[in-house]
Amino acid sequence: MKITRRAVLYIGYKCNLNCSFCYYHFMKNKKWKPILIAKIEALIYRVIFGNNRLDLTGGEPTIYPNIVSLVKFCKCIGLRPSIITNGIALADNNKVIELKKAGVYDYLISVHGLNNVYDEMVGSKGKFELQNIGIQNLLKNDIPFRANVTITKFNKTQLVDIAKYCIDKGAQVVNFICFNPFYEWEKLSKIDFQERHSKIAPYLKQAIDILNEKQIETNIRYFPFCLLKGYEKHQYNFYQLSYDSHEWDFMSWHRNYKLVIPYLINRFVLYRPKEKLSHYYYEDVNIDAKMLYLKKDKCNNCSLSNICDGLKIQYINRFTDEELDPYSGNIINDTTYYIKEQFKICD
Ligand code: SF4
């Protein structure tokens, strides 16, 4: 399996919605990134890290004042642009056409719920309808889309219907993403929309089954392997993420430009392969994400311990690890052990 060549570029954190579960919910003074900085970052990804795909994310990229210029620039330097969006602004068909002309290849739309559930999750009435119109505009203009679904207590019972909706609308890929209590969230002992993994699992399995029947690529992120037994090939924890072509190269993701010089030395003087470097930078340098996870006795005695993140610290403090069901048998060290069997759209 190959390491993803997709980079991610954050254009700032301003947004036209107020999702209750947003990673940046507590962030004050949200600003846009200056266009010059955004273009320099894109150039670094293309020229130094060798990326050839790019996800533009935020905040909400479709309302970024310089989005057209940025998309054109990325396309011009060989970074195929995708936009991660709530899709609300795409209800304006002129915007869809303008961005298509600029060079947007596809969209990754956040379909966190249906009808009122969606409106409540994003904090504003009538927004599901606008998103729906936005998706129809993509279909009308022959633009592909993939879907992200953040799983919470409030949409867990809709997962099957969301899967059916995505099939009906022609989504190429559906990603189910377990809410991660990162940033300020990690300090909160109780989060009202956070649900136990074991209570989500039955709905998630049904949704995967339905998508599998239609041969829609389905990825599950940040969910313990042992609570989706039989569905492991769909699961991407941090150890697997960089093998998902729809996910991000750790080098762009962590945006630690102090690593550029060591990266260049490793890559072009010591000739270390990019694949090894991506993992090296995750395992040995970018420890931020790993520091948010914890493995107690159950995980330490599980044969998947070396390829699974365990549980988030905030989660384990709230719910304990009693629901986990460790694997017995030989220790597995190959991070691609399950995912190499997955049906994948190779884009
Ligand atoms: S390491 Fe822990 S969370 Fe992961 S599969 Fe094993 S028991 Fe479950």
What is the whole-number distance in angstroms between the Cα of residue 137 and the centre of ligand 1?
42
Answer yes or no: is 275 within a domain.
no
Q: What is the pTM of this model?
A: 0.93
Residue 135 has φ and ψ, to the nearest 5°, of -65, -40
pLDDT reported for residue 280: 54
Calculate mean pLDDT across residues 27-39: 94
Residues 216-241 pLDDT 10s: 999 999 999 999 999 999 999 988 98
3-state secondary structure 240-275: HHCCCCCCCCHHHHHCCHHHHHHHHHHHHHCCCCHH
In sequence order, the β-bridge partners of residue 82 are 55, 106
**Pocket lining for ligand 1, CB < 6 angstroms:** 224-226, 298-299, 302, 304-305, 308, 310, 324, 326-327
In the numeric block, which tokens belong to residue 77?
Answer: 């330097």
CA of 305 to the centre of ligand 1 (A): 6
The answer to whether residue 300 is domain-embedded is: no
What's the pLDDT at 290? 64
- Residue among 324, 331, 335 whose CB has most ligand 1 atoms within 8 A, to mutate: 324
Ligand 1 centroid vs 300 CA: distance in angstroms? 8
**Cα angle value 182/57/241 (rounded, 5°):** 60
- Atom from ligand 1 closest to the CA of residue 224: 3
The average pLDDT across 247-272 equals 77
Question: Could you give the CA distance from residue 137 to residue 90 in angstroms, rounded to a whole number?
Answer: 7
Pick from 42-46, 70-74, 137-141: least confident = 42-46
In a domain, 325, yes or no: no
pLDDT of residue 277: 67
How large is the average pLDDT for residues 103-128? 96
pLDDT at 276: 66
Closest CA to 247 of 305, 173, 183: 173
Domain that holds residue 57: 6-254
Both structure tokens of 157: 């019972």
Confidence of residue 199 (pLDDT cuts 50, 70, 90): very high
Residue % of the chain over a pLDDT of 90: 73
Q: What angle do CA 60, 64, 65 make, to 5 degrees?
A: 165
For residue 55, being part of any structural domain is answered with: yes
In a domain, 313, yes or no: no
Domain contains 159: yes
Whether 162 has a pLDDT exceeding 60, the answer reads: yes
For the cut 90, the answer to whether the pLDDT of residue 49 exceeds it is: no
In a mutational test of the pocket of ligand 1, which residue from 307, 327, 335 has the highest number of ligand atoms less than 8 Å from its CB? 327
* Residue 193 scores a pLDDT above 70: yes
Backbone angles phi, psi at 249, to 5 degrees: -60, 130
Least confident range from 117-121, 124-128, 286-290, 312-316: namely 286-290
Contacts of residue 177, defined as CB under 8 A and 6 or more positions apart, other chains included, come to 148, 149, 150, 151, 221, 222
Q: Is the pLDDT of residue 257 over 70?
A: no
**Does the structure show a pLDDT above 90 at 38?**
yes
Q: Give burial (CB, 10 Å; 0-12/13-18/19+) of 191.
A: middle
CATH number assigned to the domain comprising residue 117:
3.20.20.70
Cα(196) to centroid(ligand 1), Å: 15
Q: How far is the CA of 162 from the centre of ligand 1 (A)?
A: 27
Q: Taking residues 321-339, what's their average pLDDT?
A: 96
- Preceding omega of 126 cis (within 30 degrees of 0): no
Distance 178 CA to ligand 1 centre (A): 15
Could you report how far apart the first and last alpha carbons of the chain are, in Å? 14
Average pLDDT, the chain: 91
Q: What is the pLDDT of residue 282?
A: 57
Q: How far is the CA of 184 from the centre of ligand 1 (A)?
A: 25
Structural domain contains residue 219: yes
Q: What pLDDT is stored for residue 23 in this prediction?
A: 87
Domain annotation covers residue 125: yes
Contact between 131 and 86 under an 8 Å Cβ cutoff? The reply is yes
Give the pLDDT band (50/70/90) at residue 278.
low
Among 198, 220, 298, 307, residue to substitute to test ligand 1 (most atoms within 8 Å of Cβ): 298
How many domains does the structure of the chain reveal?
Answer: 1
At residue 284, the pLDDT reads: 52
Residue whose C-alpha is closest to residue 52's, from 62, 61, 42: 42
Confidence at 142, pLDDT banded by 50, 70, 90: very high
**Whose Cα sits closest to atom 2 in ligand 1?**
299
Higher pLDDT, 187 or 330: 330
The span from the CA of 281 to the CA of 131, in Å, is 37
Q: Tens of pLDDT along 287-323?
A: 555 677 899 999 999 999 999 999 999 999 999 999 9
Determine the distance separating the centroid of ligand 1 and the alpha carbon of 294, expressed in angstroms. Answer: 10
